[in-house]
Structures are given as structure tokens and as C-alpha cells.
Amino acid sequence: MNKKYIIIFGALILLLIIIVGGVTYYQQKEVFKAQDKDFYTPIPDDKEYEIWCWYGEAWVDCSERSEFRPHELVSININLKKFDNIPYDPYYLCYYSDLSDLGKQCSPRSASTLGGLVLVEEEVPEKDVFSLIKISVYPDDDFLEDDEIVIMDLEGKSI
């Protein structure tokens, strides 16, 4: 093969890589823009939870929705003060969401540290039915199924 054709072929491959990278970047630009924003809004005391969805340039309250688009950015705020009937003190608060890759997360708490829980800026998975958030409490770190009390279990559906 002639050196001239090798140089032209290499330049075309490099140009293709640059074009594909640029297109990918601009398609994901809105996702990047949303993830760069710190999102937090205080939840009113009379609500158990709020769900916020990212629509291009702003977070919009979508708490009344149960159906979401795959890869839609969602933030869930939980008001733990509404769950003051927890029979354990201290207790372990555990939460799980299909929106997060972290799996089940647990931390010790006491009744005096009721506050909020925020699952921020996560993408809706490509599942027909998924767990938006499931919150459970346990009396100790044994996490026995018989001791579990589920205080919230929200499911979502894909559109």
C-alpha cells in the first residue's frame, strides 16, 4: 500500500473518532448539566416524600407520577419525621433503590435523629417495574428478616 493512502486512512479514522466523541458528548450534555447541579429542596413537614425529575433545565416536582422514562434523572426526598412510630430506639435504617447501584444501604440512628433522607440524581433503570425506594428499620445490625419493619416501599414503572 502506498504511504499516501495509509496517511489518508489514518486521518479518516481519527476524524471518525472525533465526530463520534462529539456526538456522544452533546447527546449526554443535559445529563452532565443536571449532575453538576447540587439539588436539595427542603421537604414540607406534612409530606412523607417528594420525587423530583430533571427536565432539561430545571427540577420539576413529579411526586404524583408512578411512570418514568428509562434514563430519566430522578431525585427522591424522604421526610423521616413522618415515620415516628418506629418501635426500636436506637435502630438501623436501611434503604434500597433500583435507581442506585449501591445496593442496600444501612446506618444506625436514634429517634432523636429523625430528619431527611435524599437519594439524589439517579437514573431510572430499563426495567418494566422497579423499586423507587424501599425503607426498612431493624433493631440491631443482625438484619434478621423477622425483625424488619418496612416503613416505605415505592414502586415505579417504565413508560
Indicate if the pLDDT at residue 56 is higher than 90: no
Confidence (pLDDT) at 28: 62
| Stretch 128-132: mean pLDDT | 91
Q: Taking a C-beta distance cutoff of 8 angstroms, is the pair 79, 43 a contact?
A: yes
Domain boundaries, the chain: 1-36, 41-158
Domain 41-158 CATH (choose: 3.40.50, 1.10.287, 2.30.29, 2.60.40):
2.60.40
Confidence (pLDDT) at 11: 93
With a CB cutoff of 8 Å and minimum separation 6, the contacts of 46 are none
Top pLDDT among 42 and 60 is at 60
With a CB cutoff of 8 Å and minimum separation 6, the contacts of 37 are none
Q: Taking a C-beta distance cutoff of 8 angstroms, is the pair 51, 57 a contact?
A: no
The percentage of residues in the chain with a pLDDT greater than 90, rounded to a whole number, is 23
pLDDT band at 39 (very low <50, low <70, confident <90, very high): low
